[in-house]
Amino acid sequence: MKDSVRAVLSSAAHRWAAQQTPPLVLGEALVEVPPANVAGDFASTWPLSLAKAVRKAPRQVAQEILSFVENGSVLAKAEMAGPGFLNFTMSTAWLMEELRRLLLERGDYAKRVGLTGEKVLIEFVSANPNGPLHVGHGRGAALGDSLARIFRHLGYNVTTEYYINNVGNQMENLGASVMWRADVLDSTYLSEEERSVYKAKKVDDLYKGEYLVDTARDIMRRFPKDQERPRGIAFFRDESLALILLGIKSDLGAFGVFHDTWYPESRLFEEGRVDAALAELKRRGDLKQEDGALWFLSTKYGDDKDRVLKRGDERLTYFASDIAYHHEKFGRGFTRLIDIWGTDHHGYVPRVKAAVQALGHDPEKLTILLYQLVSLVRGGKPVAMSTRTGEFVRLTEVVDEVGKDAARFFFALRSPNSQLEFDLDLAKREASDNPVFYVKYVHARCCSIFREAEKRGVGHPLPNTAAFSSPETFDPAERAILLRLASFPDVLDQCAKDLTPHHMTDYLLKLAGDFHRFYENCSVLNATEAQRPFRTALVDGVRTTIKNGLSLLGVDAPETM
């Protein structure tokens, strides 16, 4: 809808600009949704910014541009206000046509044809596989999956990926930690050599948590002590990794998240990609040997200091793998990379961007989206820890308590750069102050209207969209819904532009509010024969749009509640 208004304004402004001396070259038309107290559906401050260039008063510029605006198919009215604002009111015919398009296209409404050349990789969650997912990972999972759904709806070729950090000291510590737990469970299970391996580790390097006991118990069950099994830390490392990854995939699946690819860090070494990336940096003159270590000259590309890639003992840093991984992403033909990380990784952003640029890629094609922490509240008090693990709140615990839908909707209530307070009691409450219940209830109410209409035999004008026509006069609540439904494509664009699904949750809550006001003021089933087809179409439009919006958030739309 905004694009349609922008096109009308742009056409008028360009014709006006062509008559100026000298002719002006204009950028994109400025169009926004105005505050509630403004008489209009859209507004523009463009005349104020153009006035200086032509040395005219903003009101004069606004009036001159207005003379070129064509009312009719898109606009019912365009007028000047204040110091030089332009206010626009959508035409009834345009809004009605958009409602017909929505009801005709249904789940495909606002979908776009594939964008040529746009191949997007969204990497998210990518939690170290040394333990189960916690609630913070849940926020990243909801964010990444919803963005992937939105981008696909908008026509992008999207791949979602989980990067598995399965190389390095953390994996060795995982193996040793499970060996320790197995030894505690049964002091005769390990060989003396195995026991000496885990005991050689520093206690602080060993992972804590009840999940490690479960992991050790599972390994011991599948490999009884009286049977032959592989020996050593590598065995426990690999078995533990497989079990933990299986749990991560299961937790994500219960959360409605399914990655297209799972990319192990070990593959980078197996295929020689780390050495190849370092060789390319050396060829470009971006490495140096100093103090016995190999350094990446990241300060050449805006980082605050150079970074070690290989230590004096020849051990590679994790950053070396990350450089190779991002180089490989571009090598797979992706034209846009989106990494979704927790805010604690903010210091990593400049160095990764620097590496991408040093390897000859456009750093603007890499977006690193950071999301803030999640705090849980129950009974008005912060939830300090999980009773099960004693360390952190697992994602699966939250999903088990409030359900997938509530968890995903609540995670999407705020922009990624805002901290999120998750009220567990509110998420379970079946009341209008629970945002996910509030939206779902409207969908169920719409479905119940159609069930009742069928019982009464009053008919249903759809899918014959020609069966309803515009009423002679609109109730304000009717027009508010028409306008809100038509803005769904604009909301999708805003989500993609800002890389956040919270615009969608906000939109659905506003649409639900519009419906409640409509339901109170405008009878549907008891409307006149002339009114009923249009009002039924509005209800169907609300039902369809809420289902579409919830689907993009990974949330189900119930027909009964």
Transcribe 489-513 into DSSP letters.
Answer: HHHHHHHHHHT-THHHHHHHHHHHH
- 304 C-beta neighbours (distance < 10 Å), count: 9
And the tokens for 272?
């020689």
Residue 414 CA to residue 432 CA, distance in Å, equals 19
| pTM assigned to the model | 0.94
Can you say whether residue 228 is alpha, beta or left, with left for phi > 0 and alpha for psi between -120 and 50 degrees?
A: beta
Can you say whether residue 126 is alpha, beta or left, with left for phi > 0 and alpha for psi between -120 and 50 degrees?
A: left
Amino acid at 492: L
Domains of the chain: 2-90 (3.30.1360.70), 169-246 (no CATH), 435-552 (1.10.730.10)
Which residues partner with 374 through β-bridges? Answer: 420
Q: Tell me what the mean pLDDT of segment 473-497 comes to.
A: 96
Sign of CA dihedral 425, 429, 433, 438: positive
Confidence at residue 460, expressed as pLDDT on a 0 to 100 scale: 58
Residue of 360, 90, 125 lying closest to 251 (CA atoms): 125
Which residues partner with 263 through β-bridges? Answer: 163
Tell me the pLDDT tens digit for each residue of 26-59: 888 889 999 888 889 999 999 998 988 899 999 9
Q: Which residue has the higher pLDDT, 203 or 247?
A: 247
Confidence at residue 2, expressed as pLDDT on a 0 to 100 scale: 92
Tell me the pLDDT tens digit for each residue of 330-357: 999 999 999 999 999 999 999 999 999 9
Confidence at residue 401, expressed as pLDDT on a 0 to 100 scale: 96
Q: Is the pLDDT of residue 301 over 90?
A: yes
Q: Which helix (H) or strand (E) holds 381?
A: strand 381-382
And the tokens for 259?
């990655």
The dihedral over CA atoms of 8, 540, 531, 519, expressed in degrees to the nearest 10, equals: -100
Confidence at residue 390, expressed as pLDDT on a 0 to 100 scale: 47
Contact between 426 and 403 under an 8 Å Cβ cutoff? The reply is: no
Q: Compute CA distances 195 → 206, 209, 213, 215, 452, whole Å.
A: 14, 20, 16, 17, 70
| Environment class of 170 (CB within 10 Å of its CB; exposed 0-12, middle 13-18, buried 19+) | middle
Confidence at residue 186, expressed as pLDDT on a 0 to 100 scale: 96
Amino acid at 318: Y
Q: Which residue has the higher pLDDT, 470 or 276?
A: 276
Match 């919803």 to its residue by tokens.
146
Residue 252 CA to residue 247 CA, distance in Å, equals 9
Q: Tell me what the mean pLDDT of segment 206-225 comes to.
A: 93
- At residue 389 the predicted structure's pLDDT band, cuts being 50, 70 and 90, is very low
Confidence at residue 471, expressed as pLDDT on a 0 to 100 scale: 84
